[in-house]
Amino acid sequence: MSVVSLRQQHAQTAAEVSALVHQAVAAKAHIEVKSVGKTYHAKTGPVTALEAIDLTIHRGEIFGIIGRSGAGKSSLIRTFNRLEDVSEGQILIDGDDIGRLRGAGLVGLRRRIGMIFQHFNLLSSQTVLENLALPLKAAGHKRADIEHRARELLALVGLEGKEHVYPSRLSGGQKQRVGIARALMLEPEILLCDEATSALDPETTQSILSLLKEINTRLGLTIVLITHEMAVIRQICDHVVVLEQGLVVEQGPVWQIFGKPQADATRSLLAPLATQLPVDLQQRLKQTSAGGQAVIELVYDGDSAREPDLGAIAAALGAHVELLHGSIDRIQGHAQGRLLVATAAPENRITQFLKNSRLFSSAKVVGHV
């Protein structure tokens, strides 16, 4: 919606206009993918990698693209900086069709979009400083300016003092930090991350994800990342799209997709994060009550103001509850997860409790201990 039409429709005061302008800018589409298809012409015949993809990525958000191997993630992200051309449809950046760009226009597009890779793609024969200098040297910048910018960025990514070190002397996490600094040398407005943490151990992955989040917040960069790990999406993304065999099977805010996955592909990607029943509990669990305690599974899908409030649960059951197992994540402020509690509350009270949907998203008795 244009600012002018916003003004005509709603605004009465200067303050209102300013608030609406702010809203319009924040909600502005940065990258729009319209009916995009991609077919490779391999020796063995055509391979359809993407079909009828529609997406909107907003300015300043972290947008995740997830899917199993071969789902089309790399093909999609590579169309954003024209490393690949689409076979059908359009990619718009700030409303401009990038498929029309040629020569200087294409160079300009690639300056606006930085990219980092799973295997870092650093030149091993060049020092950290020389690796960082490459994009600016190619763009004809002065040596002093290049060094100044490189040192600033090395400080930002926590690698001060590593200017003259060769990549082989750096850890995986440090190499990726250099990759991030190099991608930022041309002051891009979009950062594409191609499986940027897949080659890293879990602890280093955390530190790189924190750094990406910090860059997104401090520099206001739009970040698009592809991954096959839902944990990465959960940690830093605002929106996510799930691809399966070149098609969008699901997309939306991360808390919603995690809380109520609709597609089988999403559910299977989420499976590694699900809390399984611990083995000792599985062995102790009986299907008859026979004087024991009921074990209730409480699910929180983040879809409401429901919080896992054990005090309120005990009060509703009119009995003590023991927390046996479970975990709750907070994703974008929404509580999600599953708890197993044991209670000696009478059966009629439990039946009544299970109908009390103010306290959970869903609940059921899974057995007795």
Ligand X SMILES: Nc1ncnc2c1ncn2[C@@H]1O[C@H](COP(=O)(O)OP(=O)(O)OP(=O)(O)O)[C@@H](O)[C@H]1O
CB of 225 to ligand X, least distance (A): 12
Based on the shown chain and the rule CB under 6 A, indicate whether residue 67 belongs to the binding site for ligand X. Answer: yes
CB of 68 to ligand X, least distance (A): 7
Site string for ligand X, 227-246 (x = CB under 6 A): -x------------------
CB of 87 to ligand X, least distance (A): 12
One residue of 31, 33, 36, 49 binding ligand X per CB under 6 A: 49
Stretch that binds ligand X, among 17-25, 64-72, 146-154, 212-220 (CB under 6 A): 64-72
- Tell which positions 192-231 bind ligand X, by CB under 6 A: 228
Residues in CB range of 144: below 8 A, 6 or more apart: none
One residue of 18, 40, 152, 307 binding ligand X per CB under 6 A: 40
Based on the shown chain and the rule CB under 6 A, indicate whether residue 74 belongs to the binding site for ligand X. Answer: yes
One residue of 1, 47, 52, 139 binding ligand X per CB under 6 A: 47
**Crossing angle of the two packed helices 310-317 and 347-354, in degrees rounded to 10:** 130
Based on the shown chain and the rule CB under 6 A, indicate whether residue 70 belongs to the binding site for ligand X. Answer: yes
Based on the shown chain and the rule CB under 6 A, indicate whether residue 75 belongs to the binding site for ligand X. Answer: yes
Based on the shown chain and the rule CB under 6 A, indicate whether residue 73 belongs to the binding site for ligand X. Answer: yes
Stretch that binds ligand X, among 70-78, 164-172, 182-190, 284-292 (CB under 6 A): 70-78
Based on the shown chain and the rule CB under 6 A, indicate whether residue 42 belongs to the binding site for ligand X. Answer: yes
CB of 117 to ligand X, least distance (A): 11
List contacts with ligand X (CB under 6 A). 40, 42, 47, 49, 67, 69-75, 228
